[in-house]
Amino acid sequence: MGEVVSKASGILYHPLTISVHMTDLCNSKCKFCSEASHEHTYDFVREKDIIKFLQSHNTSEWTALNIHGGEPTLSASLLKVVRCARNLGYSRIILQTNAHRIGTDKTFAIALNESGIDLYNIGFHGSKREIMDKLTGVHGSFDKALRGIRTISGFRKPIRITVVICAHNYKDISAIVLLVAKEEIAHINISAMQTGGSAMRNIESLFVSYSKARPYLEEAVCIAKSLGIKVTFEGFPYCVLKGMENYQVDWKAQRLKVLYRKIIIDDFNKFLTQTIRMYGPPCENCEQRVVCSGVYSEYANRNGWSEFDPYVVKEV
């Protein structure tokens, strides 16, 4: 028998990481937001539920905490939660943020950093103002995020950039890599768009096929590699990025357990596969199905299965 293509080596989290939905609220209006966070006017997240969740895990096993939203920096409980997590022994704390408040409120930024953030994961979706401001629905978001990045760089803390790929920015991805390099950021995570929430309502203007985006993603990987920047791909089916398997996030090596308000999702990647992803005819005998998490259902319903080319192990 031949050999199956080597599995992904992309790492985003510790092997056992808990993740908390910090707030329903957001100060961006991203067209691709699967949460549609900016439409919320009331925050249903309770601080006591988050603290209880943190306390319920053995930090010798569940070593890391990921904080997401909404926009976590809008939560009045954020600093308390971070300090609590640090006191409980979580060895790595990741904050997912648009960095707007970090770039505009110096006092808050210093307090947040001193509370114990280890890695800032910043959503950054265009190399130019007109692209990013259009996608986020907020005038000045490009400049706010860039100021946030530079504030964090001044703290000498690591930054990971996450880019959600859609019709407005897939041709811009190499330019984003170059901007990342200029800002001395070591890791760019390129994410397929989840087709829910705001993304579903804006699908006509946002949709781009994986095959159409692929040449630009390949170019971006080559540039990033030449500049020593780490690249990971999140949410893309393996077969549409053949030859780039080693950049895929390795969900066999890491598990994300999520608290979403009062709901606990034991394994977030598996949850997505069970709820909003699917496998189709090309997946039935694909040798990479064991590591591939499938295709977003709305994507397959819209674009069909013709571009998905399964891995077949050949006899030798």
Ranges of each domain in the chain: 16-277
Token readout for 32 is 């691709």
Burial 263-275 (b: 16+ CB within 10 A, else e): eebeebbeebbee
Contact 141, 29 (CB under 8 A): no
Do 132 and 92 touch, CB atoms closer than 8 A? no
Confidence at residue 315, expressed as pLDDT on a 0 to 100 scale? 53
Q: Are 232 and 186 in contact (CB under 8 A)?
A: no
pTM, two decimal places: 0.95
Q: Which helix (H) or strand (E) holds 154?
A: helix 141-154
CA nearest to 184, candidates 218, 145, 154, 144:
154
C-alpha span between 181 and 242 (Å, rounded)? 25
Which pLDDT score is estimated for 8?
59
Measured CA distances, 99 to 129, 142, 160, 269 (Å)? 15, 10, 12, 25
- Nearest Cα neighbor of 269 from 235, 308, 233, 232 is 235
User: What is the predicted pLDDT for the residue at 14?
Assistant: 98
In angstroms, rounded to a whole number, what is the distance separating the alpha carbons of residues 207 and 166?
6
- 3-class secondary structure, 313: coil
Coil, strand or helix at 119: strand
- Smallest Cα–Cα separation from 125: which of 170, 163, 175, 161? 163
DSSP per-residue codes, 31-71: TT-SS-GGG--S----HHHHHHHHHTS-TTTS-EEEEESS-
pLDDT value, residue 314: 62
pLDDT tens across 74-119, in order? 999 999 999 999 999 999 999 999 999 999 999 999 999 999 999 9
Q: What is the mean pLDDT of the chain?
A: 94
Instruction: Domain 16-277: give its CATH code.
Output: 3.20.20.70
Helix (H, G, I), strand (E, B) or coil at 192: strand
Rounded to an integer, what distance in angstroms lies between the CA atom of residue 293 and that of residue 237?
7
Segments of the chain with pLDDT less than 70: 1-9, 37, 313-316
pLDDT at 231 (0 to 100): 98
